[in-house]
Every structure is written in structure tokens, then in C-alpha cells.
Amino acid sequence: TQNEKKLFTPGPLGVSYSVRQAALRDLGSRDIVFMETVKYLRSRLVDIAGVSEDNFTAVPVQGSGTFAVEAVFQTAVPRQNGKVLILENGAYGKRMGKICEVLNIPYHLESFSEDSKVDPGRVEELLRGDNSFTLVAIVQCETSSGVFNPVEKVGSIVKKIIPDCVYFVDAMSSFGAVPLDMEGGQVDYMVSSANKCLQGIPGFSYAVARKSHLQKCKGNSRSLSLDLYDQYDGLEKTGQFRFTPPTHTMLAFCQAIKEFDEEGGVVGRANRYKKNRNILRKGMLEMGFQEFLSPEHEGYIITSYKFPEHPNFEFKEFYSRLIDKGQVIYPGKVLNADCFRIGNIGHLFPEDMKHLLTCIKDVCTEMMIDLPLSA
């Protein structure tokens, strides 16, 4: 795979050659082998989530991660008297607000600053002031900045104050590499996608849902294709998807899970990502690049860097010169600062991070930006 670019982005992510190879099989959606594959994947996702199939089920949804996020709002919020509290500190929390708006779901968007975590004390205050919320939603790793939110702590507060309230965690870019105690954090719905830390190819997302709640959600969904209850019901009864499944993507995902296990599961994957992150942090610091987040943030999925205040720095040029060297970084997503982002998840290893740093150094030389940058 000579002419391939390395993706240091939050998705699509680079995946191994063996994962791609696993997709090179045509299977029918009713094929016994495929139905067994779906059953296996659903079971393994519950397993990776660290919960029991007695209480939880995994429901795959065709489409990107946002499809699963929307499917949870569609399904878990009743058509009458539903009210959502969204705790947001970045673009992905804001997107949840947009989903509720389009669906005409009553919601309150509580915003926290993009460079800080959601504050559990403020959540407690909010819920004590208004106990009419039926669902609280939060993002575990806010990929616009890289902040990790205290989701377990928030979950305990939600259930202490409104025991019947549904707790929903978007673990899109964290599931599989950042521990999440679903039982301890009293999480009812968790969503992620095939092409994040589990390193499959894009094409489907999934919800790990508490069965006792999901089974009460029949008829809630305002959408046919995003009805999580109906999708679950169909898979349970027939072992089949209601509409054409992403067969190739699911075969690749089986291989991805095999490689995930071989690497040592959540712990093994987290270790590699942390190594990647440490190399990046050290190298960028030596060049004088400043992180958007202050050092007490422990995130290791993606890092936001402030644009250097050098007269020759121009992001578009910086970005395209890196692309010419086969390195794909990502524009910023925070609103209150000019930033770019570098991810270290997916099929990336310490040597890839070192090579990226060399390329960044070379690009700065080409653009006549003296290093180290002055603060």
C-alpha cells in the first residue's frame, strides 16, 4: 500500500490491511454465516462494554456514528412528555441539540466552556432545580477539543436525583480505548461506531442499550429506519436486519475485534494510544506548539493545537504541505480559538507519530517558520 496517506484524524481512521482484506467477501444478508457474524458482533460489543447480556443488548445501525446518536433520541425519548438535558462542551454535544431541534424534542442545552470538563456540581444544581427531564445526554470524549468528561460521576448524580431518568453517553471516539464503567456510571445507552477505537471500516454504528428500558420504547421513534427498538426486535426475532445491512463492513469488524483482542483489549489499545499521544505531546512542545487544553486534561484520543502566531503560518498551506508528505491532520472544531487537531487513534503506531513530527518540522522549514516557536 505504497501511496497511502496516514490519517491523524478523528475519522475515517486508518485500519490494518488484514481488516480491509476481511471485507473482500460477498455474503447475502440472509446467509447463515452472515447471521452468525451479526450475532457474534452484538454479543462481543456487550462484552467489550463490560456489561452482561442479561441486562444489555447491542443494536447495530447502518450509517455513521451520528445515526446511532439520533436513533437513541428517536427511540428513548417518548413522543409525549419527553424532555432532554444535553450537557455540552463542544461540537458533538451541540450536534445533539440540533438533533433534538429537528425532531421537535423539548430540550435544554447546558453549555460548559470548550476547554473544560462538564461540571458535576452544576449538573446537580440543574437537576435539583428541574426534575422533569426524562433523558440526560453527555459526550465522553468531546472530539472537537479532546476533553474527557466525568461521565460516571454525572451518571450517579442523574440517578440519585431523578431515578427514572435515562442516562445516555456518546462514547463515539472513546469506546474500546477509554474505560467506561456502564454499571457504575448507571449508563442506559452508549453509542459508538465501527471506525473508531475498535478500528473497523466505516459503515455502521451501534448502541449498547439497557434492555429493560429499550423494551419499553415501542412506538416512540419518529423515524422508521432509526427506530432502535424495531431494529432490536427484528434482530432478536429473525437474526436479520430490517433493511440492507453493511455486510462487508461487518465482516471487516469481526477481524478488527480479533486484532483488538490480540492487542490486549481496552487496556492494550489505550496503552498504544497513550504512547502515541506522549510522543506527539513531547515533539510538538519541543517545536513550541501550544495545546488548546491545559496540561491537567488527561485525554489521549485527539489533541487540539493553537495556530502559531507566526506571520508565515497559514493553516491551509500547512495542511496541504503535510498532505503532500502523506500526513493528514484535521482542521479545528472549537469556536473560540484558531486550532488544528491531531488524532492518534486508528492504525497508528509510535513510529508514525515520530514521522509526522519530522514532516511538521520540514513543513515549518519550507514555510520559513523558525522553530521553536516563541510563545
Label residues 353-368 b or e (16+ Cβ within 10 Å = b): beebbebbeebbeeee
Q: Of the candidates 249, 250, 255, 224, which has an alpha carbon nearest to the alpha carbon of residue 239? A: 250
- The average pLDDT across 57-70 equals 98
| pLDDT tens, position by position, 184-208 | 999 999 999 999 999 999 999 999 9
Calculate mean pLDDT across residues 232-244: 97
- Reported as a pLDDT band with limits 50, 70 and 90, residue 1 is low
Burial of 26 (0-12, 13-18, 19+ CB in 10 A): exposed
Task: Tell me the one-letter amino acid at 215.
Answer: Q
User: pLDDT tens digits for 10-28?
Assistant: 989 999 999 999 999 999 9
> How much is the average pLDDT of 350-374?
97
* E strand or H helix at 209: strand 204-210
Q: How confident is the model at residue 374 (pLDDT cuts 50, 70, 90)?
A: confident
State CA 95 to chain mean position distance: 13
Given a cut of 60, whether residue 274 has pLDDT beyond it is: yes
Distances in Å between the alpha carbon of 273 and those of 194, 324, 345, 350?
Answer: 17, 25, 6, 9
- Integer angstrom CA distances of residue 326 from 7, 15, 292, 323: 9, 16, 25, 5
Residue 69, sorted as left (phi over 0), alpha (psi -120 to 50) or beta, turns out to be: alpha
E strands, 98-150, are 107-111, 135-139, 141-142, 147-148
Whether 375 shows a pLDDT value over 70: the answer reads no
What is the mean predicted confidence (pLDDT) over 46-61?
98
How much is the average pLDDT of 228-255?
A: 98
Is 128 within any annotated ligand binding site? no
Nearest residue to 127 via CA among 116, 118, 115, 117: 118
Q: What is the C-alpha to C-alpha distance for residues 71 and 82, in angstroms, rounded to an integer? A: 15
Are 332 and 325 in contact by the 8 Å Cβ rule? The answer is: no
β-strand pairing of 189-193 with 204-210? antiparallel
DSSP 240-306: S-SS---HHHHHHHHHHHHHHHHTTHHHHHHHHHHHHHHHHHHHHHHHT--BSS-TT----SEEEEE
Q: Would you say 9 and 3 are in contact if contact means Cβ atoms under 8 Å apart?
A: no
Residue listed under C-alpha cell 447491542: 58
What tens digit of pLDDT does each residue of 84-134 get?
A: 999 999 999 999 999 999 999 999 999 999 999 999 999 999 999 999 999
Section 358-366 average pLDDT: 98
96: Cβ contacts below 8 Å, ≥ 6 apart = 69, 73, 86, 88, 137, 139, 170
- When the pLDDT of each residue in the chain is averaged and rounded to a whole number, the result is 97
User: CA 27, CA 110: separation in Å to the nearest integer?
Assistant: 45
Bond from prior residue into 295 cis (ω within 30 degrees of 0) = no
Cell of 141: 470524549
**Residues listed for the chain:** 375
pLDDT digits (tens, 9 = 90+) for 132-182: 999 999 999 999 999 999 999 999 999 999 999 999 999 999 999 999 999
pLDDT given for residue 2 in this prediction: 60
The reported pLDDT for the residue numbered 333 is 87
Q: Alpha-carbon torsion 123, 125, 126, 132, what sign?
A: positive
pLDDT tens digits, one per residue of 283-308: 999 999 999 999 999 999 999 999 99
